[in-house]
Amino acid sequence: MRGKAAALAGACVLAIAASSAAGAGGEPISIMVKPGGSYDARIADTARCQKIVHEADDADLPQPEVPINYAMPNGAAGGGAPAVAGAAIAFLIIGLIEENEAAGRGEELCMHNLGYRKLHLTPDETKAYARLGLREKHDWERKFLDSDLGDRIKAATVVPVVPRLPDYQDAPRRTGGLQLDELAAVAGDVHEGQNLLTGTARRVRTAVLVTPIETKDGAVRVAADPGTVFHQVDYRRQADPELRLDGATWCGPVRQLSNGLSAKDFYCFTGRDNGYEVFRPSGQPWLAGPYSGGFSLPVYAEPITLQERAQDDLGPLEFAIRADEITARHLRLSAVVAHSGKHVVLWVRQFAWDKAGKAVLPLWDQKLTLTRLSDKAVKAELTNDGDGHDWRAGELLF
């Protein structure tokens, strides 16, 4: 919905933001700054982030931390055709406002991932800035950003309450914590429910828990002993890395405790500034799946120490991309990993056929080209002319 209507709503919201940023009513002003940065560099990075947000899917933008509950205009809930029209307009405006706010959240996250942080101006700086005209504000910001702000940025930087877990390392054919090898397209006609591509996968990074884990808050608690093997995963859906929340995710088997009972389970831990997010995902203890279901537990604020292993002892996993549904309009695929008779679904995506009846799934240095033969059959071709993009393509359904 990022069109003329969205731009109109965005202009209104930006006008409100501008009045607030001018210090109206004594509100504090914050400016995005970066150690060693400059005014011109920030202008370029801002334009880069705006382009990234403009090209992103709506679902890839950061969601609000709390549900949005906009009040409806008086009389919109009833009263015949005028009220129905009013309600439609109200919901359109609400949608445009939320879209603009989502874009703003996306731009702020993108700038954060580029190394920028919010620096609050002092009361005197706020008053001085508020009295300036638009051109003078630009001149003031240029002089401010080109000055040495190192000490102020350091003092304003949030210090995480716990150490972060070992971070991600991107590489070709590496995704979801797995390295994919020996990929091969299935020859001949492929029908619904059959594999289009097969290969092997291995867990890239595993570690042994050094410090015990024992959550204490909530009706459900989890505990893990030193020596427990954890594995790293990454199911962040955003195609552009600058729109992904930072903080690596590690998952492993735990004891789930509730009402005096104990049961074997597995959970994931993601480092944030305020502690570790704790989540029960889909999948299996040997490979956690996407956060498509499950539930969260209270944030865990005790340090977690992992000692990485040089080699995983789980061994190779079976990997396949399967044709789940074939129609005249679209193709639905799933990526699946199997081990010891059990499987984990990594994703389910849907692709629309182009005019030539083809759909392409990028696979880093390779690509999988799918050709529709009929409403119920396709042909798969794997070639070595990939453009470097990963398989975050099509419409993500799971």
Does the pLDDT of residue 204 top 90, yes or no? yes
| Nearest CA-CA partner of 121 in 39, 37, 24, 23 | 23
Domain boundary among 156, 188, 214: 156
Q: How far is 387 from 364, CA to CA, in rounded Å? A: 6
The predicted structure's pLDDT at residue 165: 92
The predicted structure's pLDDT at residue 25: 52
Does the pLDDT of residue 90 top 50, yes or no? no
Does the pLDDT of residue 84 top 60, yes or no? no
CB neighbours of residue 159 within 10 Å: 5
**Residue 287 to residues 208, 226, 266, 268, 299: CA-CA distances in angstroms?**
15, 19, 9, 10, 22
Residue 366, beta-bridge partner list = 363
Total domains in the fold of the chain: 2
How large is the angle between the packed helices 134-145 and 39-55, nearest 10 degrees?
Answer: 110
Judge if 23 and 128 occupy the same domain. Answer: yes
pLDDT tens for residues 259-290?
Answer: 889 999 999 999 998 999 999 999 999 999 99
Judge if 216 and 113 occupy the same domain. Answer: no
- At residue 171 the predicted structure's pLDDT band, cuts being 50, 70 and 90, is confident
Mean pLDDT for all residues in the chain: 84
Contact 150, 157 (CB under 8 A): no
Least confident of 24-33, 222-231, 270-279: 24-33
Domain boundary among 288, 308, 328: 308
What's the average model confidence in pLDDT over 123-133?
90
Judge if 149 and 255 occupy the same domain. Answer: no
Judge if 114 and 21 occupy the same domain. Answer: yes
Does the pLDDT of residue 322 top 90, yes or no? yes
Question: What does DSSP assign to residue 54?
Answer: H
Judge if 143 and 9 occupy the same domain. Answer: yes
The predicted structure's pLDDT at residue 246: 86
Judge if 95 and 24 occupy the same domain. Answer: yes
pTM: 0.80
pLDDT tens for residues 341-377?
Answer: 999 999 999 999 999 999 999 999 999 999 999 878 9
The predicted structure's pLDDT at residue 87: 44
Identify which of 13-17, 88-92, 259-263, 360-364 has the greatest average pLDDT: 360-364
Q: How many CA atoms lie within 13 A of 287 on its CB side?
A: 28
Residues whose CB is less than 8 angstroms from the CB of residue 255 and which lie 6 or more positions away in sequence, other chains included: 222, 223, 224, 262, 263, 264, 265
Strands 261-272, 275-280: pairing is antiparallel
Supply the range of the domain harboring residue 148: 4-156
Judge if 142 and 208 occupy the same domain. Answer: no
Residues whose CB is less than 8 angstroms from the CB of residue 310 and which lie 6 or more positions away in sequence, other chains included: none
